[in-house]
């Protein structure tokens, strides 16, 4: 004889079993999806690196003065805000901030320029700073740093992707915790 209590128990067992199976399938699917997306991102990153190197393999980046940092701070599709720090172009370093340039992408025209972190007039070679902004936009990257070597950021402004190495000692001093892998000629990537 089957009691009501045993029927409820059997139904509950079936429900619990289905819930566990559903959770297990969801866990496997989620893990597989994450692995696939990570692999896809990694593949895209490698392709971006190869394309950048193939296009700019012989570039000297001579338009950028030593100790220059250029990055996109704010980004609208049409008018990115570029931030440029290049102390060698500032004649009086007592009042200095970071130079910003707002550009129109389509016309490559500079809409607005100025200095952050200061209200003072800064004596600097702003024509060279503006030229660096125009050249930077042609590379279509979020950040570029130049010391003796050129540091290229392709994914975002915080993830170093490539280094065009003119001085191997500098990358070892700047990033001692990173192992470097040579790609081709003077081009290296973090390993």
89-107 pLDDT per residue, tens: 877 666 667 888 999 988 8
Percent of the chain with pLDDT over 70: 82
Percent of the chain with pLDDT over 90: 29
According to the model, what pLDDT value does residue 27 have?
67
| Span 30-43, average pLDDT | 61
Rg, C-alpha atoms of the chain = 26
Q: Helix, strand or coil for residue 17?
A: helix
Q: Which of 155, 153, 131 is nearest to 143 (CA)?
A: 153
CA dihedral 85, 166, 44, 83 (to 10 degrees): 0
- Whole-angstrom Cα distance, residue 159 to residue 142? 10
- Whole-angstrom Cα distance, residue 99 to residue 144? 15
pLDDT at residue 151 tops 90: yes
Residue 141's pLDDT band (cuts 50, 70, 90): very high
pTM: 0.74
Token readout for 182 is 């040579």
Q: Which of 78, 81, 48 is nearest to 153 (CA)?
A: 48
């Amino acid at each position: 004889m089957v009691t009501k209590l045993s029927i409820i128990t059997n139904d509950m067992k079936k429900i619990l079993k289905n819930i566990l199976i559903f959770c297990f399938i969801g866990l496997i699917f989620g893990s597989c999806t994450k692995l696939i997306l990570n692999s896809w991102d990694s593949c895209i990153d490698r392709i971006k690196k190869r394309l950048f190197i193939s296009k700019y393999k012989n570039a000297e980046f001579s338009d950028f003065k030593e100790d220059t940092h250029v990055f996109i701070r704010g980004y609208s599709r049409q008018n990115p805000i570029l931030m440029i720090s290049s102390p060698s172009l500032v004649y009086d370093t007592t009042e200095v901030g970071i130079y910003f340039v707002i550009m129109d992408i389509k016309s490559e025209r500079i809409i607005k320029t100025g200095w952050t972190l200061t209200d003072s007039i800064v004596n600097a070679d702003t024509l060279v700073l503006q030229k660096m902004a125009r050249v930077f936009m042609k590379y279509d990257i979020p950040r570029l740093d130049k010391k003796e070597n050129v540091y290229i950021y392709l994914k975002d402004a915080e993830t170093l992707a490539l280094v065009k190495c003119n001085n191997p000692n500098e990358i070892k001093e700047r990033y001692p915790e990173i192992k470097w892998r040579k790609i081709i000629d003077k081009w290296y990537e973090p390993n």
